[in-house]
Amino acid sequence: MLFRSVAFSLCFAAIVNAPRVAFTQVRVVQGVVIDRASSDEIAGARVILTPLDARDTLARAVKYGAITRSDGQFRFSDLPVGRYRLVVRSVGFEADSEGLAIPVGLRSDTLHLRIALNALPMPSQDVVVSGTREERSLESVPVRVELVSQEEIEEKIMEKPSNVIELLNESVGTRIQNTSPASNAANIRIQGLDGRYTQILVDGIPSYSGLASSLGLTQLAPLNLRRVEIVKGASSAVYGPDAIAGLINFITKDPSEVPEFSAVLNGSDQKGYDASAYFGQQFDAFGLTTLVAYHKQQMVDIDGDGLSDIAASDRFTITPKFKYQINDKITGVATMSYLTETRQGGTMNAPDSAIGKVAPWVESDKTARFDLATSLVWKIDESRSVTFRAAGMHLDDNSFFGASPFAGVQDFRLADMQYEFPWSSHRLQIGGAFQSDRFQDKTPNVESRSYAYSDAGGWLQDDMGENAPWEMLFSARIDSHDPYGTFFTPRASLMYRPSGSLTLRLGAGTGFKAPTIFLEDAELYGYSNLRPLRSVVPEQAQSATFDVNYHAPIGAVAAHIDFALFTTNLDHALLLNDDSLASHILVVQNATGPTVSRGVECSADLSLDELRLVASYAYLDARQTDADRTYSLELNPRHWLGLTLSYEDEEDGFKAGIESYYIGEQRVQDDPFRSTTPSYWLCGALVEKAFGVVHLFLNGEDLFDVRQTRYEPVFLGDPLQGNIQPLHQWAPIEGRMINGGIRIVMH
């Protein structure tokens, strides 16, 4: 406790039971604040005294504050006799508090204190695995890795408990792009590149590409997530195909010895409802976690045009995870997940019999998905380990876009092994993997667009100079892809740490992706009249990043500042042929020139006591060259700004925050109303109050009701005649949303 080392040993029980005294006599309290582990003095610590014996409201509101000097010393004078609550806070240390009494009749007018604080584990010590496929603290990874912590996940659950969209949409350099205004399908863009270039993983398993990418992020429930790791830039050297723009790894919770239970009940003014629950516990050698989630959304027409702006959906998810400690060195994990969903948008109040008919126009989707993932980790000793993994996914999807059906089945299989071991001053990792991705097109009366890809890859990774000021990480992978041949994808990262608070990184990587029909533009048109792929080649990318990270107190403010420069060059990007589009036929071809994305990202995370301010800015210049013409990639704001201010009082269980995001002008094509969109601001607010294990929350999104339909429609044509042409969505269409509910947190 805080005052075990108080110079004067006070008998608090006697003081508490003594008669109250008037606030007339004065005393002095002075002391020193130190680090309990090192006994070093702590400068800049905040010491607050709050009177407890005051009889009137004004006196009870008085607080006495001081900040420790460079020698850790602080001093209060002219203090009334009585009881106080003393709180000490310092950046990087656990806040602590205790009752303190200044009684009448002290032998000295001065009370001397020696206060020892326990150091907090820094946020950068969170384990990450995405960047290097090995367990490393965030601050020591040579590859730039951005983290969404569990605390941030819990905040976003109150904003959007049904899926992970809000976890990603507000991170600098990432952007959720809606791909269908009727079904509200969406995917994630990194640094301006289409969503298909972002590899989505859950616990390291890449099973969200192809058919699974169109609705995958809108179906992934967040309540069982422990953290989210974002790696920007081409990363095929470690994870194989698809990681061109970067990768996002959703890490689920492991069972703990202390039982953990959490649940969320949520409702919104837009007729959406959520109920989800999570439980986890380790029972000796056996551990279990379980997530059960249900989401219900009614169809809503915000702008009154007779077409839905929010699709109706009904979704159920169950995800059990089993962990078994076979012995002191071998641990096995198995995770299963089952999801089923129906979704419908389009003409309001259309009967079910209209699905698949010429009139009225209805977009519907039925999804059934099953996942299974297993892993076995053998810790040979403290420095050597072997990991085996196997996983599979089966997805069945049946959709209608007006009268045009689209149906398919995707099967994904993965098996890999890696061995980590030290050698001299190097830490080596060798591994091999085999994966297959098969899509069977079941759409009736069309030429089949099925594909069957398999990939066998092997990689070597060398980490040189671990924990030294200079550290280099080099990875190289060779993939034998059927049917597209052999690919060599190296990656290198150099990290320099001139001090404990400053880190500089320089990295470059490569990546490749086998072509599929699942393009954002093709999905916008419902894959209608989409021709099979012919004479196309894989897309390949090279990227480079330079970033600076500063993490240290600035006076009494905890500061975490990031600055990054990036560039990506993508060759053979898949595009829809403009001439065929004029005839309402979708033909996919490779671009004749490169796709180039470059820009700047910077953010500052500042904390002072209960207040936290996060300011982020991104500049993006993304261009495509094709057919001797260079143009800006559509739906990419050149400027993006995010501001978040939050307040949290852990003792009172109160939390509040406001956020505002500026989205700059964007280029659009095939839009009869404009070629450049207006800029706009999105604002939201959140309030939460805890009463023991019960947390009540109220959240507001898009408070100024910014909607694309205030400027122009998102559909052209007559929906009652089944004649619809959707337009690209460059702003929200669902408008202002207020939601609230109950969280139960027990652990």
Query: Looking at the predicted structure, is the pLDDT value of residue 489 above 90?
Result: yes
Nearest to 700 by CA among 644, 738, 733: 738
Q: Report which listed range, 239-243, 275-279, 610-614, is most confident.
A: 275-279
Dihedral angle sign, alpha carbons of residues 578, 584, 585, 588 = positive
Distance separating alpha carbons of residues 282 and 288, to the nearest angstrom: 6
In this structure, are residues 446 and 408 in contact, taking their beta carbons and an 8 Å threshold?
no
Distance separating alpha carbons of residues 219 and 203, to the nearest angstrom: 16
Both tokens assigned to 260: 């953990």
User: What pLDDT band is residue 685 in, cutting at 50, 70 and 90?
Assistant: very high
User: What pLDDT band is residue 335 in, cutting at 50, 70 and 90?
Assistant: very high
Average pLDDT of 241-266? 92
Q: What is the pLDDT of residue 652?
A: 82
Query: Looking at the predicted structure, is the pLDDT value of residue 7 above 70?
Result: no
What the chain holds in terms of domains, given with CATH numbers, is 12-117 (2.60.40.10), 123-167+245-746 (2.40.170.20)
Q: What is the pLDDT of residue 454?
A: 97
pTM of the full structure: 0.86
Q: What is the pLDDT of residue 15?
A: 33
Query: Looking at the predicted structure, is the pLDDT value of residue 152 above 80?
Result: yes
Q: Angle at Cα 94 formed by Cα 5 and Cα 256, nearest 5°?
A: 120
Q: What is the pLDDT of residue 108?
A: 56
What's the N-to-C CA distance of the chain in angstroms?
22
**What single-letter DSSP state applies at residue 230?**
E
pLDDT in tens, 283-304: 999 999 999 999 999 999 999 9
In this structure, are residues 131 and 143 in contact, taking their beta carbons and an 8 Å threshold?
yes
Pinpoint the alpha helices (H) of 61-204: 150-159, 165-169
Average pLDDT of 456-475? 90
Average pLDDT of 592-618? 93
Distance separating alpha carbons of residues 615 and 233, to the nearest angstrom: 23
Average pLDDT of 336-364? 91
Q: What is the pLDDT of residue 60?
A: 45
In this structure, are residues 93 and 56 in contact, taking their beta carbons and an 8 Å threshold?
no
Relative to beta strand 595-608, strand 611-626 is antiparallel
Q: What is the pLDDT of residue 578?
A: 84
The per-residue b/e assignment along 203-224, b for 16 or more CB within 10 angstroms, e otherwise, is bbbbbbbbbbbbbbbbbbbbbb
Q: Angle at Cα 679 formed by Cα 678 and Cα 683, nearest 5°?
A: 135
Q: What is the pLDDT of residue 54?
A: 56
In angstroms, the Cα distances linking 325 to 125, 243, 390, 509, 675 are 24, 32, 18, 37, 59
User: What pLDDT band is residue 9 in, cutting at 50, 70 and 90?
Assistant: very low
Query: Looking at the predicted structure, is the pLDDT value of residue 22 above 60?
Result: no
Q: Which amino acid belongs to residue 555?
A: G
**What single-letter DSSP state applies at residue 194?**
-
Distance separating alpha carbons of residues 397 and 213, to the nearest angstrom: 12
Distance separating alpha carbons of residues 403 and 363, to the nearest angstrom: 9
In angstroms, the Cα distances linking 181 to 40, 702, 733 are 59, 17, 8
Nearest to 726 by CA among 663, 667, 674, 670: 670
Nearest to 73 by CA among 30, 110, 114, 32: 32
Pinpoint the alpha helices (H) of 130-207: 150-159, 165-169
* Chain centre to alpha carbon of residue 504: 23
Distance separating alpha carbons of residues 405 and 442, to the nearest angstrom: 9
In this structure, are residues 144 and 564 in contact, taking their beta carbons and an 8 Å threshold?
yes
In this structure, are residues 723 and 716 in contact, taking their beta carbons and an 8 Å threshold?
no
In this structure, are residues 699 and 745 in contact, taking their beta carbons and an 8 Å threshold?
no
Q: What is the pLDDT of residue 509?
A: 94
pLDDT in tens, 27-83: 788 889 998 887 888 877 888 888 876 554 444 445 677 778 878 888 887 777 778
Nearest to 374 by CA among 411, 417, 327: 417
Query: Looking at the predicted structure, is the pLDDT value of residue 5 above 50?
Result: no
- What residues have CB less than 8 Å from 56, skipping those under 6 apart? none
Average pLDDT of 550-579? 90
Q: Which amino acid belongs to residue 88?
A: V
Both tokens assigned to 368: 């059934």
Backbone angles phi, psi at 581, to 5 degrees: -60, -35
Task: Please provide the DSSP assignment of 267-283 as one string.
Answer: EETTSEEEEEEEEEEEE
DSSP E strands: which ranges in 303-381?
A: 312-325, 330-346, 362-379
* Chain centre to alpha carbon of residue 360: 38
HSE-CB of 643 using CA atoms within 13 angstroms: 6
Any bridge partners for residue 230, and if so which? 146, 248
| Residue whose token pair is 């009154």 | 304
Distance separating alpha carbons of residues 304 and 173, to the nearest angstrom: 34
In this structure, are residues 408 and 394 in contact, taking their beta carbons and an 8 Å threshold?
no
| Residue whose token pair is 């380790």 | 282
